């Protein structure tokens, strides 16, 4: 089995990070994560972030960067990634007013252009889905299909979120296989099996995580990324349960 490293999306720990960014990263390292996916940098410079990561033995798996920043500040975003050692930058979310058919068409052009600029600098641009991109456009195609099928594969990759795909009635494994080789980042989440379909710690819900994890090597996944948008436990308790679950499924994690 290929040793695919595991990161945590720092949005999960947003409140902890706001109080103590460095201390929160230290706790992530102590739990056995290989890296982090950033959603902000605690007000630190790129050099300060890199120093902190190196001290803690963590890697920068990727960074979530708002779409507007990708449009207006891309060169600085790229330089920041280079310093912190991140090879991936992710468009994380679309606001409600950005989800019309016309806006999706404009987005495709923006992502292709930004992705090409990133690629020239050794950075890969990915698109992270929620459930709203699984809605159908006027031609019958899902918005997520349109984004991936109408951008150049070398310019734009996917960061599939298995919770949101499942919530939309899709099988995550189908998307990972369909876009095999174009899914370097995968968000691992679970979902409660009741009507609420709330975010759940890995292994405690109904998402078929086994088949997702088993497809990682064939699909050329580079990072598994744990995220829990909201939790009824403390976020640190939540990610500890999730990493312990992954250690039972991915034996190579135990000795890291």
Arithmetic mean of pLDDT over the chain: 96
First and final CA of the chain: distance in angstroms? 15
Whole-number pLDDT of residue 245: 97
Strand, helix or coil at 45? coil
Interatomic CA distance for residues 18 and 131, integer angstroms? 28
**DSSP type of residue 103:** H
Given a contact cutoff of 8 angstroms between Cβ atoms, the answer to whether 143 and 133 are in contact is yes
Mean pLDDT of the region 50-79: 97
Q: Residue 51: how many CB atoms within 10 A of its CB?
A: 13
Which residues, 6+ apart, have CB-to-CB distance to 6 below 8 Å? 33, 34, 35, 223, 224, 225, 226, 243, 246, 250, 253
Interatomic CA distance for residues 39 and 62, integer angstroms? 9
Whole-number pLDDT of residue 255: 61
Residue 70 — φ and ψ, nearest 5°? -65, -30
**118-to-81, 112, 131, 164 alpha-carbon distances in Å:** 10, 10, 26, 26
Interatomic CA distance for residues 190 and 200, integer angstroms? 5
Given a contact cutoff of 8 angstroms between Cβ atoms, the answer to whether 114 and 127 are in contact is no
Interval 212-231: pLDDT, tens: 999 999 999 999 999 999 99
Interval 93-148: pLDDT, tens: 999 999 999 999 999 999 999 999 999 999 999 999 999 999 999 999 999 999 99
Confidence of residue 2 (pLDDT cuts 50, 70, 90): confident
Share of the chain above pLDDT 90, in %: 97
> How far from chain centre, in Å, is Cα 198?
19
- Tokens 């976020």, residue located: 235
Closest CA to 167 of 123, 134, 213: 134
Q: Is this structure's pTM higher than 0.85?
A: yes
Strand partners, 200: 190
Q: Is the pLDDT of residue 252 over 90?
A: no
- Tokens 């598994």, residue located: 224
Mean pLDDT of the region 69-76: 97
Interatomic CA distance for residues 11 and 78, integer angstroms? 20
Q: Is the pLDDT of residue 256 over 60?
A: no
Interatomic CA distance for residues 116 and 97, integer angstroms? 25
Mean pLDDT of the region 30-39: 97
């Amino acid at each position: 089995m290929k040793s695919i490293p595991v990161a945590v999306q720092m949005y999960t720990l947003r409140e902890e990070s706001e109080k103590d960014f460095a201390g929160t990263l230290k706790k992530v390292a102590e739990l056995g994560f290989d890296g982090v996916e950033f959603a902000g940098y605690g007000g630190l410079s790129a050099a300060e972030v890199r120093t902190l990561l190196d001290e803690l033995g963590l890697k920068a798996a990727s960074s979530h960067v708002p779409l507007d920043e990708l449009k207006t500040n891309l060169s600085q975003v790229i330089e920041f990634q280079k310093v912190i050692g991140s090879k991936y930058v992710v468009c994380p979310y679309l606001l409600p007013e950005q989800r019309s058919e016309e806006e999706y068409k404009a987005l495709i052009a923006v992502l292709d252009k930004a992705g090409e600029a990133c690629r020239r600098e050794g950075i890969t641009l990915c698109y992270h889905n929620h459930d709203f991109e699984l809605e159908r456009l006027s031609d019958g195609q899902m918005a997520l299909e349109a984004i991936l099928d109408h951008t150049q594969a070398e310019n734009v990759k996917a960061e599939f979120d298995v919770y949101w795909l499942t919530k939309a009635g899709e099988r995550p494994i189908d998307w990972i296989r369909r876009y095999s080789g174009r899914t370097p980042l995968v968000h691992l989440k679970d979902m409660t099996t009741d009507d609420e379909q709330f975010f759940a710690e890995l292994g405690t819900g109904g998402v078929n995580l086994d088949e997702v994890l088993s497809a990682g090597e064939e699909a050329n996944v580079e990072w598994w990324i744990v995220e829990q948008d909201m939790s009824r436990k403390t976020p640190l308790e939540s990610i500890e349960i999730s990493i312990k679950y992954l250690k039972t499924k991915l034996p190579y994690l135990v000795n890291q």
